[in-house]
A and B are shown apart, each in its own frame.
Chain A
Amino acid sequence: MRPSTYGKNVFINCPFDRKHNPLFRAMVFAVHDCGFIARSALETVDGGEVRIRKIIQIMRESRYGVHDISRIELDRGTRLPRFNMPLELGMFLGAREFGVREQRLKSCLILDRERYRYQAFCSDIAGQDIRAHADDAAQAIFAVRDFLASQQSAALLPGGNKIARRYDAFRAELPALARRFHLSPSTLTFIELRTFVLAFLDANPW
């Protein structure tokens, strides 16, 4: 990734599981429809790279962050919660606080299922931009769109409803097209998904 894209990169920090996948895909689409670039720990598959180093590098290259901390339930198998998302949110906020000048420009959106639920499990993040998605892809799109629209002064972005309708069209057309390219629509890698989004947006300008 070229360093010059720092101001366009949006690091998406969220659970990587089937339940959350519809929200993740919707957020990736919304980021790109707003003219930014979605970044994720899923974009590299180098098994030799230590995961946290990979995440730090992507975070360093991203001015913006979308952190979904909604997954606080106990894991069914281990009966323990997952802490990766709050950890990465903390790293992002730390980079903004202690980083060099470019890193201090960082800005992030925090998403939870309910608007004020974080006060019960992570109250120290009060004062940040926190929105609820209610486990609904359209709500996630609205939140991402509004966050990114507030980051750029000169550009006018389409409304959240418009982006959500465009995402509906993308979702409807993705399965057939993925199969045409000998891919399974449900198991696309992050890079593949991002490339399909890019192609759709090129073919469907605002």
Chain B
Amino acid sequence: MKRKRRVIQDDFPTGDLDVEALRRAFAELREKRLARERRAAAAGSVPGPRRIRKQETPDRAA
């Protein structure tokens, strides 16, 4: 199965944020999420991701 090469960091500016630190933080959260899902599966209920809901916020000029 062919996959398109992911966009790499060098392709565009990322401001002052430390992308590597962010990536590590997201990776930690991913491990926690997967662990939660494994525990839920073992307990017999698999939590699905929250469905995207329409945001009902006040209108503002574009």
Contact = CB atoms under 8 A, between A and B. Distances in A.
Contact of B62 (A84, A154, A202): A84
A119 interface: no
Contact of B26 (A21, A75, A199): A199
Interface stretch (A48-56, A91-99, A104-112, A187-195): A187-195
A179 to B, nearest CB: 11
B61 A75 contact: yes
Interface in B1-47: 1-7, 9, 11-15, 17, 19, 21-27, 29-30, 33
Given A156-B1, A171-B52, A199 B62 contact: no
A173 B11 contact: no
Contact of A164 (B2, B33, B52): B52
Contact of A194 (B1, B12, B26, B50): B12
Given A8-B7, A204-B26, A194 B57 contact: no
B15 A32 contact: no
B29 to A, nearest CB: 5
Interface string A15-51: 1111111100010000010111100000100000000
Most buried by B among A37, A43, A157, A203: A203
B23 A19 contact: no
A16 B59 CA distance: 11
B58 A195 contact: no
A37 B15 CA distance: 15
Secondary structure type dominating chain B contacts:
loop
Interface residues of B, number: 37
Contacts of B54: 22, 135-137
Contacts, number: 135
Interface in A1-19: 1-2, 5, 8, 15-19
Nearest to A84: B62
Contacts of B23: 199, 202-203
Contacts of A180: 25
Contacts of B52: 22, 26, 136-138, 164, 167-168, 171
A199 B22 contact: yes
A172 interface: yes
Nearest to B9: A198
Interface of B: 1-7, 9, 11-15, 17, 19, 21-27, 29-30, 33, 49-52, 54-55, 57-62
9 tightest A-B CB contacts, nearest first: A199-B22, A15-B62, A155-B4, A203-B26, A168-B49, A35-B4, A203-B27, A17-B60, A191-B15
